[in-house]
Structure 1
Amino acid sequence: MGDDAAFHYVAMDFGGHGLSSHYYLGVPYCQENFVNEIGRVVAGGIIGGMFSCIFPEMVDKLILLDTLPFTMDPKGMENMLTYRRGAIEHMLQAEAFQKPRQVVKPEEMLQRFLKNNNHLNEECGRLLLQRGTTQVATGLMMNRDRRVGLLEYSIPFLTRLLVHSIKQLQAQVLLIKASQGYFNMERGITDKSVMLLVLDTLRSVLKEQFQYMEVPGNHYVHLNQPQNVADIISAFLQSKERLPHL
C-alpha cells in the first residue's frame, strides 16, 4: 500500500468475536456497545460510521468497504418495536439453550467455514480462523459468541436521523462498493433503495468530503483480492485531494 510509515493499523475484534471476551449473560450485543468499544480502540464499517458521527472530532477519515455507515430500514419506524422485541426474545432464547462449544479437527473446521462463507477462498479462510478459533488438545473451537448473530435485530436508522447524523461528520469519507458485494444489483429492491438513499445523502451533505469507488470483487474483496482496494485506500489516507473516479 505504498509508503505507510506514517500510519498505525489496528485489527480489532469486537466483544464476542475473534480473540475478544464474550459479554456476560444478559448483556446484549448491539452496535451501540461496539461503538463504546471503538472509544477505547478504533475500527470501521457500520460501527465506524456511527462512531464518526457521535465523536466527529476524533475521526479524520472514514473508509467503508462494501458497507454503509448505518443500518438502514425504509420502514424503520414501523418495524422499531419488532426489532426491539426480536432482540430481547432471541437473546433470552440463545442464552437459555447455550451448548458447550464444539471441538472440530482443523481441516473439518476450515471446510465448514468455507461452506458457510462461500465467497472466501481457502487462504482467507485459514487466515480468519487464526483469530476466530482457539486451539485445544483435540482440535479447534470457534471463538465467536453465538449471540452475536442477534445484531440483525439492532434498531435501524430512520431517514431523518440518517441526514442529521451525516451532517455531524467532520471526516472525509471513502465508500468502496464491490461489484458483486452485499449491495449488488441481484439483491432485492429494498437493499438497492437503501444503498441509493445513503449514497445520495452522503453526496448531497458531504459534497467534496465524500468519495465513491466501485471495484470488481465480492464482499470480501479486501481479503480475496487486496490489490483491488489497496492503492485506493493508500491514496485516500495519504492525500488531501479527491481521488479520480475510475
Structure 2
Amino acid sequence: MDFGGHGLSSHYSPGLPYYQQNFVIEVQRVVAALKWNRFSIMGHSFGGIVGGMYSCTFPEMVDKLILLDALPCALDYKESENLLTYKRRLIEHMLQTEASQKPQRVLSPEEMLQGFLKNNSHVGEECARLLLQRGTTQAATGLVLSRDRRITLPEYSIDFISRDLLVHFIRKLQAHILVIKAMQGFYNVRRENDADKEALNLVKDILKSVLKEWFQYTEVLGNHYVHMNQPQRVAGIIGSFLKSSTPNQL
C-alpha cells in the first residue's frame, strides 16, 4: 500500500503533517476495509517501523512481521537533543511548502530517471524505473513527482521512544518477527552517524531477550535496497519464514 502523500495515494489536506502515527492509522483503515482479522506485515525502512508500531498497537492482528533493513520501533538513542529540532523542522518545512506557489517541475521520463538515480545512488536503474511507475504522474509535456512535497526527512516524522518504552512495546507483540539486515544498509537515523551500530545491537539484544524463539535475525550482503536490487538474496529467507509454523505464544 502507498501511504498518504506517497505513490498513488492522495495527499493530506493543508495543515495536516505526515507523522508515523498517521500511517499506523492508515494501515488499520485498509485492514478494516479488507475485513481482515489476522495477517502478516512486511515493511522496508520507515515502512518497517510503521509495521512494527502497528503490530505493537494491534498485537492480536499480526501473526508474522518481516522487517527489511528496519527495526520495529525507533529507539531514542542519543537523539534526545535532536527531537525538538526534528519537530520544528517538520513544521517549518510544511508551512513553507504550503505557502510556496512554485509549480511541480515537469521532466521528460529520461530526465526524471537520471534525477532519481542521482538522488538515490543505492537504487539500480531497473528498480528506479519500477519505483517511478508509482512515484510519478503523467503531465501534458512529461512527468511530475506524485509524492507530496511536504514529506521530508524520515526522522522528522518518526516517533522515537525510550528504552523502557521499547521493552514495554515489544512485550505486547504476538507476532513471530524476522529482521533482515543489509550489511551495507543504514544503521543510524542520521547519516553522519551511520557507522554507529550500537543502537542496532541494543534493539536486537532486547528483541532476542524478550521474544526469544519468536525473533529471527539474519544479515545479507547488499545495500539498503537489497530486496529490490538483488531480491534473490532475501526471497528464500522470507519464503521459509512465512512457511514456518509460529512458535507457541509466550
For residues 95 and 66 of structure 2, the distance between their equivalents in structure 1, rounded to whole angstroms, comes to: 35
**Number of the residue aligned with 1:129:** 132
Aligned mates of 1:236, 1:187 — CA distance in 2: 34
Q: 1:98 to 1:32 in 2, by over 3 A?
A: farther
Instruction: Pick the aligned partner of 1:17 from 6, 24, 39.
Output: 6
The correspondence of residues 79-90 of structure 1 with structure 2, limited to 5 A, is: 79-90=82-93
SS at 2:151's partner residue? helix
Q: Which residue of 1 aligns with 2:52?
A: 49
Report runs of 4+ in structure 1 exceeding 6 Å deviation: none
TM-fit CA distance, 1:70: 1.6
Check conservation: 1:35, 1:47, Cα contact below 8 A: yes
Counterpart of 2:161 in 1: which secondary structure?
coil
2:210 to 205, 213, 219: 205
**1:135-154 aligned within 5 A:** 135-154=138-157
* 1:113-159 C-alpha deviation (Å, 9 max, x unpaired): 01111111111010000000011221111011111115422331111
Matched letter for residue 141 of structure 1: V
Name the residue aligned to 2:35.
none
Worse overlay, 91-100 or 193-202: 91-100
Task: Give CA-to-partner distance per residue, 1:193-230, whole Å, 9 cap, x none.
Answer: 21111101100000000000111111101100000000
Other-structure match for 1:167: 171
2:223 to 218, 222, 232: 218
Matching residue within 110, 114, 128 for 2:113 = 110
Aligned letter for 1:26? G
The structure in which a higher percent of residues are strand is 2
Candidates 72, 76, 79, aligned match of 1:73? 76
Q: Distance in 2 between matches of 1:98 and 1:64?
A: 38
Aligned equivalent of 2:201, options 185, 196, 204: 196
TM-score of the two chains, using structure 2 as the length reference: 0.86
| Greater Cα shift, 91-100 or 152-161 | 91-100
Unaligned runs of 5+ in 2: 32-40
Give the match's secondary structure for 2:178.
Answer: strand
Separation in 1, partners of 2:112, 2:82: 37
Write the deviation string for residues 63-115 of structure 1: whole angstroms up to 9, x where unpaired.
00011112223145444433333332232222222521111000010000011
* TM-score, normalised via structure 1 length: 0.87
CA RMSD of aligned residues (A): 2.0
Given residue 20 of structure 1, which amino acid in structure 2 is its aligned partner? Answer: S
Pick closer, same or farther for the CA change 1:26–1:189 going to 2, 3 Å. Answer: closer
Q: Is the 8 A contact 1:77 1:158 kept in 2?
A: no
**Cα distance in 2, alignment partners of residues 97 and 170 from structure 1:** 45
Asked if the contact 2:75–2:160 (Cα under 8 Å) also holds between the matched residues in 1, the reply is: yes
Greater RCO structure (CA 8 Å; 6+ sep)? 1
User: Larger deviation: 65-74 or 157-166?
Assistant: 65-74
Unaligned runs of 5+ in 1: 1-11
Secondary structure in 2 matching 1:60: strand
Which whole-Å CA distance do the structure 2 matches of 1:177 and 1:35 have between them?
23
Task: Note the alpha carbon deviations across 1:157-200, whole angstroms, 9 max, x for none.
Answer: 1111111111110000000001111129x973784121111101
